[in-house]
Structure 1
């Protein structure tokens, strides 16, 4: 016979670790076991996203001009650029791919999303989206492109929704596999 206190403890543990989406927990489904994501310094090493964007002929010139230190940085302070690099497995490469988000310095509006795949010791641009406002994320080996959605009454600071387009690497390029749009407060 199992003591009542043991059953109560197990029930309490299940209740604490619940799986419902209550806003603080995002359900993602089963974890991928095909490739483990190493730290960014393993295999490929960290890239300099500023150099990568400035040297990429596919990046629009007006966006290259935004790849500069933000005001108030430098001159004795560390230079801060409006770029964010993330590493993960999005393509069929054995090395981590690099996702770079380019934004504005002031309000952080996403200007462009770029994905680079390591090929032959260098990085090749395999995805580009330069339609602001845009932000990219790596989600369980999928590329997610997120856009703010505004209604006619929304202020620039406060969109009431977002759209998410998910891409998977198939046949040597990214193909859209889903799209969702949610608007409302």
Structure 2
């Protein structure tokens, strides 16, 4: 009987330990002012990139072909088919700008450009207008993706992709790496039906 009584006393005590869901004794509530949660700025961090008018940049660029300029029209209202990225590619004092011009219907890249800030303006330092093309910034490198197609295949059915990596060197982009990926030719999710005997 004494053992049962002791167990009966221990059970309520263990259910209120700090690992359970009972009450815990954390000490008195804090009454002083709560410290500021505003993060302090890191003086070595790069400033936020300044947004540019990418459409105007492309249309006023003499290095951009007339075909791309002619195709660069709003898809809906005043929404143009351009993707814009900001980052450090050329070691300039402020962010470089990567602009991809796409088609409205199927978003195929028809031109990729890199603009480097120089003296309050932007200079075109890279151009690729061989569609389909798309440029991105990857850890300080310029990465260009090009869909590959077999003869007679549709725009929605690429046979592979070529990925070219460029790095800024001696005031220009130099190719560093080229990778080709071939896509599987199997029909996704389709299987042959069994023959009926």
TM-score by length of structure 1 reads 0.72
Structure 2 unmatched runs, 5+? 1-43, 185-197
Q: Match of 2:64?
A: 59
Higher relative contact order (CA 8 A, sep 6+): 1
Deviations 1:124-178 (A, max 9, x none): 1000001111000100000011000123474321213110000000000000000
2:91 is the alignment partner of 1:92? yes
Give the aligned CA root-mean-square deviation in angstroms.
1.6
Going from structure 1 to structure 2, the CA distance change for 1:142 and 1:151 (only over 3 Å counts) comes to same
Q: Which has the larger radius of gyration?
A: 2
Q: Is 1:46 aligned to residue 75 of structure 2?
A: no
Q: Partner of 1:23 in structure 2? A: none
The equivalent residue for 1:182 is: 181
Q: Deviations over 1:55-84 (max 9, x none)?
A: 0011001111112111xx22xxxx210111
Task: Map 1:66-81; keep pairs closer than 5 Å.
Answer: 66-70=71-75, 73-74=76-77, 79-81=78-80
Partner of 1:139 in structure 2?
138
Aligned positions, number: 141
Taking structure 2 as the reference length, the TM-score comes to 0.68
Go from structure 1 to structure 2 and tell me whether the alpha carbon gap of 1:114 and 1:36 turns closer, same or farther (over 3 Å shift).
Answer: farther
- Structure 1 gap segments, 5+ residues each: 1-34
Distance 1:122 1:153 in 2: 43
Q: Distance in 2 between matches of 1:177 and 1:88?
A: 19
In 1, Cα distance between equivalents of 2:144 and 2:46:
20
Point out 4+ residue stretches in structure 1 off by more than 6 angstroms. Answer: none
Aligned counterparts, 1:1-185, within 5 A = 38-40=47-49, 45-70=50-75, 73-74=76-77, 79-152=78-151, 154-185=153-184
Q: Secondary structure at the match of 1:50?
A: helix
